[in-house]
Amino acid sequence: MKTIQITLISFFILAFAKAYTAQAQQEFKAKATYIAFTKFDLPEDSTMTKKAESDPIVKAMMEQLKKGSKQEYTLEFTRTESSYDKVKQLATPSKPTNGISISFSASGGVGSTIYKNIEENSYIKQGNIMGKDFVIIDKLPSYEWKLLSETKKIGQYTCFKAVYVSIEQEEVEEEVEDDNDDEVNTSITSMVVEADPTITAWYTPDIPVSNGPGEYHGLPGLIVEVQQQETTILLKEIVLNPDEKLDLKKPRSGKKINQEDFDALQKKKSEEMMKNRGSGNGSFRVISIGG
């Protein structure tokens, strides 16, 4: 009889623990702040360096790329959804030189407002091409991460290393090599020293959500730090289960488009602008660098 009672008690404790865990998972929420650093190394003896002496747009591009950028972002998330958005400008934008103003953001959706639904494997991202807004709706990119045993401490969290090399990035590099025999390439990528295409992420199982900044996701723990080419994103602070309600906003302003069509249109408009820049006055906005 006593054995039956113990068994029943154990059953009820286990059932309660499972129910409590399920409820905790359902109610889990957090708010994290990330800092994104982007800076480019430019070859000193390149054709573009010489071209910068006579072309104000090329000169302004090179100056901005050398200077880089530093931005702060907020990631609000539950176990299945998240909203990532820029919160403030850390540095006062420099005044345009010769009427030229340049801004840029890196790959991985780092500089975009983006809503992710991990459960549905989808995202909604805000995009802009030369002043026109777009709402990019597509499936989340698939990262086939290679999990490594290397660890390091970031703040209070023990983090594990993971790496990924995009097949698409390798194909892009081959295409760039094939174009080397063409006329002088005035694109942004021609100014930048070739970077390692490997994406390196550091995640912590202490926060068991498969999410991270920008479009990054797919690891057994929150991504605390990630580096892709010239951009490094680092967790600054995080509040678990904050009292305030999360604002999981979805971008809604602009024409709906998928990522492939957006990228193609962006490339087309950038090429048109470089060909028709005339006197060199105006602005140049690089929406995405690095794939």
pLDDT band for 62, please (50, 70, 90 cuts).
confident
When pLDDT is averaged across residues 132-152 and rounded to a whole number, the result is 96
pLDDT value for 155: 94
* pLDDT value at residue 194: 61
Share above pLDDT 90 across residues of the chain, in percent, rounded to a whole number: 46
pLDDT score for 193: 55
Please, what is the Cα angle at 114 between 108 and 116, to 5 degrees?
95
pLDDT at site 195 = 64
| Of 258, 269, 267, nearest in space to 288 by CA | 267
Higher pLDDT, 247 or 101: 247
The predicted structure's pLDDT at residue 154: 96
**Which tens digit of pLDDT belongs to each residue from 217-242?**
999 999 999 999 888 999 999 999 99
pLDDT in tens, 4-59: 444 433 443 344 334 335 545 558 999 999 999 887 776 666 666 667 677 777 77
pLDDT of 206: 97
pTM score over 0.95: no
Residue burial 134-145, b: 16+ Cβ < 10 Å; e: rest: bbbbbebbebeb
| Length of the chain measured in residues | 291
* Res. 124: pLDDT tops 90: yes
